[in-house]
Amino acid sequence: MTRRSGRHAVAGIDPSRLLPAVPGSPATGLLQALIVAIAGCASDGSYESRPSPPLPAESPRVSPPARQAQRPAAPATAGGVVSPPAPQSLTPVSGERDARALVSRLLPANVADRSGWAADITTAFIALRIALLPEKLCAAIAVIGQESGFQSDPPVPGLARIVWQQVEQRREKYAIPKVVLDLALLKPSPDGRSYKARIDALRTEAQMNALYEEMISELPGGRTLFAGFNPVRTGGPMQVSVEFAEEQVRDRPYPYPRRDGVRNEVFTRRGGLYFGIASLLDYPASYIQMIYSFDDFNAGRYSSRNAAFQDALGRVSGEKLSLDGDL
């Protein structure tokens, strides 16, 4: 089956993340960690350890309290594996104002411009007609925190080195003398700095994308050297794929005016959130736990489902299959 990913495909999905959790297994620890991560969007994560108070020398005898009724244990499946209970969905928020207020409360305490982030997240949910459920809002917030730390244009180490390597490869491919290219890169760019100075100062993908677009249009021979070779493939606060964004606008109307094309919208906060939330949540999937949607976000839509099918097929057939989620 064809998968559409909002990010780069990741080969080889851990099968322990696709099967019901076994107590003591790595999958259990992973699930617990993700549950803590999602739950963290509603708290500051602080924890204070306190010593137990000393017991009195003698305590009066008291009757043991009546045992509280407990939930029956989840039924065990074949092989003694316990199926996790399906989580109960919370009540969706009604109205944009209430949704913004809820998102603002769920955001981590250190987020600047809370109202702006809350507005853009809420607008994306409403435009995509995704139910404003607290667990879905938390899922989006968790991905934003993981991918960018709530920075609209997060810095990426080593961008200048990457660009210089790409420039050198293109120069060698077209047999351009180094001195000629060096002189061309000393030309002032539209912001007044030379292209060489801008390459050396690169910190973010948005800066890198803008630089490539200008080198293509402004440098002598730039179209020959760099057209169709922009190395920036993802961007924005959710690190969404530019290719996915271009497909998304063909399927659904974009809720904002497009100034400079879809590619540049990915690098804005509003666009990056819209396309990232679409990649994460805007497709039919009957997963009972959000962890499977996180896997799909990283490796391509329905990768979790497909990898689970591959694992089941391998068990039945006795063949060892690659659990990459690509059918």
Half-sphere exposure of 144 (CA within 13 A, CB side): 31
Q: Please, what's the largest Cα pairwise distance for the chain?
A: 93
For residue 104, the model assigns a pLDDT of: 95
For residue 232, the model assigns a pLDDT of: 86
Say which residues have a Cβ less than 8 Å from residue 134's Cβ, sequence separation at least 6: 42, 90, 93, 102, 106
Buried b (16+ CB within 10 A) or exposed e, 202-211: bebbbbbbbb
Residue with tokens 């391509």: 300
* pTM, entire model: 0.69
- Roughly how many angstroms between the first and final C-alpha of the chain, as a whole number? 5
φ, ψ for residue 235, nearest 5 deg: -175, 175
> And the tokens for 211?
């630089």
For residue 230, the model assigns a pLDDT of: 82
For residue 201, the model assigns a pLDDT of: 97
DSSP tally for the chain: helices H, then strands E: 14, 2
φ, ψ for residue 240, nearest 5 deg: -85, 150
Low-confidence ranges of the chain (pLDDT < 70): 1-90, 321, 323-327
For residue 231, the model assigns a pLDDT of: 82
φ, ψ for residue 42, nearest 5 deg: -105, 5
